[in-house]
Amino acid sequence: LKALLARYNNSRYFFPHPFIIRFTIQGTGLVYDFDLKTSILKRIDQTIHSGHNFGAYQFYRKGILYSVGGEGMWSYNRQITYFDEKTKEWEILRPKNKGPEAMANGFQGYSDTENAYFTGGGDHKNYLENERIEIERGFFRFDFVTKNWEKLGEINSDLPIKEHRYMYWNGTHFVLMGRDRLFIIDPKKNEIYMYRDNSFYFEGGEMQFARHDTIMYYHNGEQGPVISIPVNGLLKKAIYFGKFYKKDYSMYYYGVACLLLISISTWLFLRNRSPKQLQLDRAEINVLNRLLAEQNRPISTQELNHLLACDTKSQESQRRIRFMMIKQINEKIELHLGIHECIE
């Protein structure tokens, strides 16, 4: 245990007090404190083993231990929980809106300066079907002040996150190991920089630590040697690669459609036209009713997926269903009202 006194920090042990090392057991709610003065190891939680959050990202925020995401019991855990020092139990922090479908592996990190949690590029698979793994391209930010999730956009398709899955976080930058290349990512500035070194092989290890800007990890399991990545130093030698994510305008995507529908309603009223009744199915009626009922609030991609009952399908299937639905509505409106491309 003397090796832990360097005060490196990862998701398995922490230093909440000068002479206390706190251990958490992945996939459980178990929490242990080891007293360096008395050499006593004591379990301090009163939770029951649940096995639903293997691979959860854990961190300290304002003196409180948090656990985000993970997987287990043939599903993904989408919860944000924190360890209550008074009750000695894990409590749920409830966001005000819906966040990502899965938060396991990929880019996971808490920013103290932003008071926000970043997540994206994780694994996503259907456990009860073929278990085919898909990479979540959406990138999200959770604000601890407003308790709101925000989808920042879609991760740059040129970033090889499918081929390379070792991603580290130092509190400011994500680092993606790309063998002969190292990608340094600033989620706040939305920038990617690439550092290339043909004499070094950038490949991750099982145990990783962060001290200031430097990331360290064990190569070849825990046998060593310890590899150091001075992120700020390498950033000065790196070249600009591109934007990390493409801005997400899904909240405004259907704003134009709302305005057009209002215009159609006004035009029909003024002209007192009585066209042949539109033949709409239930899904089309739901979409149009939603757009007319809440004209001041644009419909999001997630809400549209829910209306079309396709929110459990793959991202590609969701895009296809949304496209076909809007196309069908446009064709019917054009046929009966003569308005071309009513919904853009």
* Distance, CA of 94 to CA of 115 (rounded, Å): 16
Are 182 and 159 contacting, i.e. CB atoms less than 8 angstroms apart?
no
Task: Find out whether the peptide bond into 18 is cis, omega within 30 degrees of 0.
Answer: no
Token readout for 239 is 């070249």
Each of the 344 residues of the chain gets a pLDDT tens digit; together they read 444 444 444 447 888 888 999 988 888 888 999 999 999 999 999 887 666 788 899 999 999 999 999 887 777 888 999 999 999 999 999 999 999 988 888 999 999 999 999 999 988 777 666 667 788 889 999 999 999 999 999 999 999 998 888 899 999 999 999 888 999 999 999 999 999 987 787 877 767 778 889 888 876 555 667 888 899 999 999 999 999 999 866 555 555 666 777 767 666 665 555 455 667 777 888 777 877 776 667 777 888 888 888 877 777 788 888 888 888 887 887 777 777 777 76
* Distance, CA of 145 to CA of 147 (rounded, Å): 6
Are 290 and 299 contacting, i.e. CB atoms less than 8 angstroms apart?
yes
Strand pairing category for 71-72 and 89-93: unpaired
* Distance, CA of 182 to CA of 232 (rounded, Å): 13
Name 199's bridge partners.
none
Q: How many other C-beta atoms are found inside a 10 Å radius of the C-beta of residue 14?
A: 20
